[in-house]
Structure 1
Amino acid sequence: MPADQEANVPAMKRFHTTRWSLILAARDRGQGGAHEALAALCETYWYPLYAFVRSRGHDAESAQDLVQGFFTRLLERGDLATVDPGKGKFRSFLMAACSHYLANQADHDRAKKRGGGRPLISIDRLKAEGRYGLEPVDLLTAERLFERQWALILLEQVLGQLEAEMVRSGKARQFEVLRPVLLGSALRVPYAEVAAALGVSEQAARASAQRLRRRYRVLLRGEVARTLDDPSEVDEEILALFAALGG
């Protein structure tokens, strides 16, 4: 569906079935798709948990072991059975489940270390530590740090999806030039410079920027929706994510 058409489709219709709701439904029906869908979400959103564990006082190696141990327990041992469908945010479930794991199971699982086969989730510790070193950890609680990193990872995912679409459409250069439009205030965009860089009129540059923002919003709602059980909560969740970034 073209971006302009998709933007006009009501959110309840577009996002009636989300990745997280599919996980819960597959679990309830005893189907096998829940594991694969959950693994895909965890692969995307592991870093907020890593930052959460690090900010709880664990060193880098321990944090890697703990996050891997948590995912192993979650994905291999049927811990989805503990999920309350009435609390439909994957973000909330993941942080609560990890907190419970750290309090009750971590020491037992860490005793086994990492020798039990190939990790279920790929964790780049050097990359994670480089990112964690930039965190305002002294100003944020572990929970607030998790929320902030969740929001940042989600926005990075959306930006990556949009870039991939533009590249496939042969508009990689346009995306490169217009990317700052998505990351800053529309009131401060130097459209004359954008137009010159793209070799188009200023009016055309403004129109392209508007289309890009509109498509970004569609993709953002889609990415948020796939982490929720109830699609009617998309707007509320977006507000919460931006509040986490501002806090």
Structure 2
Amino acid sequence: MEPLPQRFATTRWSLILAAGTGHAPEAREALATLCGLYWYPLYAFVRRRGHSAEEARDLTQGFFARLLERDDLSTLDPRRGRFRAWLLTALKHFLSNERDRLQAVKRGGGESLLSIDGEQAESTYGLEPSHDLTPERLFERRWALALLQQVTALLRAEWVKAGKESLFEKLKGCLMDKTESSYQRIAHDVGMSEGAVKVAAHRLRSRFRELLRSEIAQTVEHAHEIDGELRHLLAALG
């Protein structure tokens, strides 16, 4: 077996890094994909900083608009290695002149990567824990949840394509919980043996881990950083 390459050549993160030295449709698409995953964690961070719902929506959209400017992309530091870390730092810098930024957004100008549904964002934010989670911790928690939701959706699509949607819906609760007490009930519900259900659950969890590692690989520059991001994800959910 050949050793893993030290750097991933075709990840979304590496494409975005390349955009710092030039404009490429692939880099823009990669950035839009990642920002589509991260917009709510960033919105929640801005709200937890004390901004109103309207201000948070405008500031978050304004931040994404700035990401399309070459000057912003040119500040990317490959040594940071993690898109998540760079994105939050960039947002903090953006908010450091928040009053001027907000006025600029309200005047219009700049092309945004996505349009935020303010009602949806605020509805989700209303469900956030009201205890003393800092803006940074709330961002990290929401980053972890968004990533898990993304991976679960990808996994579900695979099982639906294979004609196993009903079995997936029964087994999805086993993704993060290895308790076997429900296997007998699931086997009865889907007309399978308990042993076959256990095998299916094992395969489901294995594929979930593969997809999770693959998605994390899209946001780091080096292979050795994946395990660290996985540990960080689990800690953020704690």
Superposition TM-score, scaled by structure 2 size: 0.91
1:202 equivalenced with 2:203 (yes/no)? no
Return the alpha-carbon distance in structure 2 between the equivalents of residues 114 and 44 of structure 1: 27
Q: Name 1:37's counterpart in structure 2.
A: 30
Aligned residues: 235
Judging changes above 3 Å, is the alpha-carbon distance between structure 1 residues 137 and 12 closer, same or farther for their aligned structure 2 residues? farther
Shift of 1:145: 0.6
Structure 1 residue aligned with 2:231: 239
CA contact (8 A) 2:44 2:125 kept: yes
C-alpha separation in 1, matches of 2:116 and 2:181? 37
* Residues 90-169 of structure 1 aligned to structure 2 (within 5 Å): 90-104=83-97, 106-112=98-104, 113=106, 115-116=108-109, 119-169=112-162
Quote the RMSD (CA, aligned, Å). 2.2
* Aligned-pair CA distance for 1:107: 2.2
Q: TM-score, normalised by structure 1?
A: 0.88
Query: Are 2:43 and 2:57, in contact at CA under 8 Å, matched by a contact in 1?
Result: yes
- Measured in 2, the distance between the counterparts of 1:53 and 1:180 equals 32
Contact 1:27/1:34 (CA < 8 Å) preserved in 2?
no
**Cα distance between partner residues in 2 of 1:241 and 1:123:** 25
Q: Distance in 2 between matches of 1:200 and 1:60?
A: 49
In terms of mean alpha carbon deviation, does 170-179 or 46-55 score higher? 170-179
**Deviation (angstroms), 1:74:** 1.1
The Cα of 1:22 is off from its aligned counterpart by: 2.1
Q: What is residue 203 of structure 2 aligned with on the other side?
A: 211
Give the share of equivalent positions with the same residue, in percent.
53
Kindly indicate whether structure 1 or structure 2 has the higher relative contact order, using CA contacts under 8 Å at least 6 residues apart: 1
What does residue 5 of structure 1 align with?
A: none
Q: Which amino acid aligns with 2:222?
A: D
Q: Which runs of 5+ in 1 are unaligned?
A: 1-8
CA contact (8 A) 2:83 2:220 kept: yes
Q: How big is the shift at 1:173? A: 0.8
Distance 1:108 1:11, change over 3 A: farther
**Contact 2:81-2:222 at 8 Å conserved across structures:** yes
Q: 1:3: which partner in 2? A: none
Would you say the 8 A contact 1:12–1:232 is kept in 2?
no
Separation of aligned partners in 2, 1:199 and 1:87:
50
Deviation of 1:99 after TM superposition, in Å, equals 0.4
Given the superposition, is the C-alpha separation of residues 72 and 117 from structure 1 closer, same or farther in structure 2, using an over 3 Å criterion? closer
For structure 2, the 5+ residue unaligned runs are none
